[in-house]
Amino acid sequence: MKDISQSAYNIADLREIARRRLPKGLFEFVDRGTEDEIALRNNRAAFERIKLRPRTLIDVSGRSQGITLFGHELKMPIAIAPTGSGGLMWYEGEIALARAAAAAGIPCTVATGSITAMERIVEQAGGRLWFQLYMWPDRSLSHKLVERAKAAGFEALIVTVDGAVAPNREYNLRNGYTIPFSFTQRNVTDVLMHPRWLLGVLARYVFTTGMPRYENYPNELKNRITARPMGKSRMVSDSLNWEDLRVLRKMWPHTLMVKGILSPADAILAADCGADGVIVSNHGGRNLDSSQAPIEALPEVVDAVGKRLTVIVDSGFRRGSDVIKALALGAKAVLVGRPTLYGTAAAGEAGAGRAIAIFREEIDRVLALIGCRSIAELNRDHLILDKRWDSTD
């Protein structure tokens, strides 16, 4: 089978292939934001407002984009963000994603809401794996999940803290998809009109493990959430607090990150609780529609805790230049979520690899064009922030 993802020149191309391949309801589940999608648009606009100031006539022939993150060498300054739907993009899409990451020498995060069970991803894909945790109201169930991740050999734990309640993603309700997957009045036509997904993804699940569902969930929860709308199915706890984080810190001996921080004060509290890293994120513009773009919240967080812990950022990264801007502002790495999902939807592991390769090429090109030989050389002098003409007063 021809690998269509090789025809993509950029992430927007991969997105377009995914849009054609997936039922509309699944594509929107991945692609869209929340409410009026102000945050979604602003995440991108914020990157456009930042300009890079190139330096020239520097020998960049031996340049490298490798970084050291939490003591490990990464071949690129990115990691795969947790996303709950990889397994709906492609049959066992989470395995495809993890394999692509391993091949590229970068970490991949497995989500609580993964379709494929975490142990199976470890077994089939290997590589450097992180586990993302949503805390359920019943803490003991979540703690068992953490123990499973530890036993399975995950290298890091990411606790997502920006979803105290289910966000308002109205399109999910309109589209009528459910987890575990079921046919509803609202999605049946959509699915039938996409036979490639129906046969290539859904049917393969049905003939092996049954309708796709959250395979990481313990049976207690799997049974309770039978066929709830995707937009409403998150059984997260709205009582999650810093004490929960301290408990997790004691349970988890490896790298611990807190994801969904936008305020310097919270970053300081995370450091006080012993976290190793924070991920500045507005959940890709999918949770709080009035949230600031993470790239604009980043500098204050770096200033507040940059010396105490590792600051990572995500949300809206689509070009290598976006990654460079984040690193120049002080982030140590960037998570990418949708780009590799688009790739997975387009062509499974090869497509996810194509997404990563696009970032690699673009990061390399921008490094060369601004005169940097390594990520370490990036700093705020490479940036021009939006204060027009101030320098010419």
Applying CB under 8 A, the span of 22-30, 33-41, 86-94, 217-225 interacting with its own copies comes to 33-41
Interaction between residue 72 and its own copies (CB under 8 A): no
Q: Which residues pair with 130 in a beta bridge?
A: 109, 156
CA distances from 105 to 77, 147, 277 (A): 10, 26, 20
Applying CB under 8 A, the span of 77-85, 101-109, 194-202, 231-239 interacting with its own copies comes to 231-239
Applying CB under 8 A, the span of 21-29, 74-82, 295-303, 306-314 interacting with its own copies comes to 295-303
Among 247, 371, 374, 377, binds its own copies (CB under 8 A): 371
Which residue, 353, 308, 378, 287, is CA-closest to 93? 353
Applying CB under 8 A, the span of 14-22, 45-53, 109-117, 179-187 interacting with its own copies comes to 45-53
Residues 155-174, mask of contacts with its own copies (x by CB under 8 A): ------xxxxxxxx-x--xx
Give whichever of 108 and 295 is closer to its own copies, judged by the CB atom: 295
Among 58, 102, 141, 211, binds its own copies (CB under 8 A): 58
In which element (H, E) is residue 258 found? strand 255-261
Interaction between residue 325 and its own copies (CB under 8 A): yes
d(CA 202, CA 219): 22
d(CA 283, CA 176): 22
Among 51, 144, 196, 224, binds its own copies (CB under 8 A): 51
Q: Which of 72, 143, 194, 283 is catalytic?
A: 283
d(CA 91, CA 337): 18
Residues 109-148, mask of contacts with its own copies (x by CB under 8 A): ----------------------------------------
Size of the site for its own copies (CB under 8 A): 80
Contact call for residues 106 and 80 (beta carbons, < 8 A): yes
Among 30, 50, 350, 352, binds its own copies (CB under 8 A): 50
| Minimum CB distance to its own copies, residue 199 (Å) | 31
Interaction between residue 196 and its own copies (CB under 8 A): no
Active-site residue, 254 included: no
Interaction between residue 370 and its own copies (CB under 8 A): yes
Interaction between residue 266 and its own copies (CB under 8 A): yes
φ/ψ of 26, rounded to 5, equals: -75, -40
Contact call for residues 157 and 252 (beta carbons, < 8 A): yes
Give whichever of 213 and 234 is closer to its own copies, judged by the CB atom: 234
Among 276, 289, 314, 349, binds its own copies (CB under 8 A): 289
Residue listed under structure tokens 């020239």: 56
In which element (H, E) is residue 109 found? strand 108-110
Give whichever of 64 and 68 is closer to its own copies, judged by the CB atom: 64
| Minimum CB distance to its own copies, residue 28 (Å) | 14
Q: DSSP string spanning 41-81? A: HHHHHHHHH-EE----S---TT----EEETTEEESSSEEEP
* Beta strands in 120-231, from DSSP E residues, in sequence order: 129-133, 156-160, 178-179, 228-229
Binding positions for its own copies, 338-357, rule CB under 8 A: none
φ/ψ of 153, rounded to 5, equals: 90, 20
Q: Which residues pair with 279 in a beta bridge?
A: 259, 312
Among 16, 19, 37, 60, binds its own copies (CB under 8 A): 60
Active site residues: 283
